[in-house]
């Protein structure tokens, strides 16, 4: 399951399992949504039911009964905008519902391109710094970087490089991620002030190709789903 960068800050997925998870979240949390088409925007409504090949929405007001295709837009509890395109199969004024196709793709627009997720205790980064191998605790991670807690007595300099970074991440307490993530090079971008023996650093991943970011994004999505499960 993964999101891929699309354009203008949007990310896109065609993963059927991920789309179903997002739709379940949309229905269960009853987020307000709108149908949007050229020259038309419906009133707010909610997703009532998810069928195998179709979605059933509460009939909004105003509504255009001649609408054939529309984009559904909404914001989740994190204020992240989501959207997907559907075909309008039927408008039933007696049952007061709109029946549409199941979306084949899903888009989201983040407040920033790569959102950050906290990671469980036991997540570690092993890397080489000035020829020495160092093991640090990972506190959070995104597609572009991470926060690490260096071992006691270890001092890293801002703008210095970390080589051969290997991430051993946990998805939840007692459950390890199913693959190690390797990053050839990263850079210390800041030291976070704290009055403690162990120093906290912000690290930027230096990736040559966008596809090299995919394993990290797959982990952040899996971790995000675990966090949502814990909240429900």
Q: How far is CA 151 from CA 75, 124, 125, 197, in A?
A: 40, 11, 11, 9
Asked whether 25 and 66 are in contact (CB, 8 A), the reply is no
- Which CATH number goes with the domain that contains 195? 2.40.10.220
121 and 226, same domain (yes or no): yes
Contacts of 130 (CB under 8 A, 6+ apart): 160
124 and 223, same domain (yes or no): yes
- pLDDT at site 22: 93
**pLDDT category, 180, cuts 50, 70, 90?**
confident
The domain boundary, picked from 109, 125, 151, lies at 109
- pLDDT at site 221: 82
Cα(223)–Cα(119) distance, rounded to whole angstroms? Answer: 8
Cα(219)–Cα(141) distance, rounded to whole angstroms? Answer: 9
The domain boundary, picked from 58, 77, 109, lies at 109
Number of domains in the chain: 2
Cα(102)–Cα(53) distance, rounded to whole angstroms? Answer: 5
pLDDT, one tens digit per residue, over 6-18 is 655 678 899 998 8
pLDDT, one tens digit per residue, over 38-85 is 999 999 999 999 998 999 999 999 999 999 999 999 998 877 889 999
104 and 133, same domain (yes or no): no
Domain containing 158: what range? 117-231
């Amino acid at each position: 399951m993964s999101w891929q960068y699309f354009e203008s800050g949007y990310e896109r997925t065609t993963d059927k399992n991920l789309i179903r998870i997002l739709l379940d979240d949309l229905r269960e949390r009853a987020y307000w949504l709108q149908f949007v088409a050229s020259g038309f925007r419906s009133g707010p409504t909610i997703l009532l039911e998810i069928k195998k090949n179709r979605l059933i929405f509460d009939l909004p007001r105003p509504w255009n009964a001649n609408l054939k295709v529309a984009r559904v837009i909404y914001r989740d509890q994190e204020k992240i905008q989501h959207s997907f395109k559907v075909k309008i199969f039927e408008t039933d004024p007696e049952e007061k519902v709109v029946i549409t196709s199941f979306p084949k793709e899903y888009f989201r627009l983040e407040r920033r391109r790569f959102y950050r997720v906290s990671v469980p205790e036991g997540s570690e980064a092993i890397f080489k710094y000035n020829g020495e191998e160092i093991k640090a605790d990972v506190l959070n991670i995104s597609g572009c970087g991470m926060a690490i807690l260096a071992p006691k007595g270890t001092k890293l300099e801002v703008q210095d490089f970390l080589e051969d970074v290997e991430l051993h991440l946990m998805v939840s307490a007692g459950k390890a991620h199913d693959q190690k993530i390797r990053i050839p090079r990263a850079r210390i971008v800041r030291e976070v002030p704290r009055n403690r023996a162990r120093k906290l650093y912000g690290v930027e991943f230096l990736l040559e190709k966008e596809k090299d970011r995919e394993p990290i994004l797959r982990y952040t999505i899996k971790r995000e789903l675990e966090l949502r499960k814990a909240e429900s």
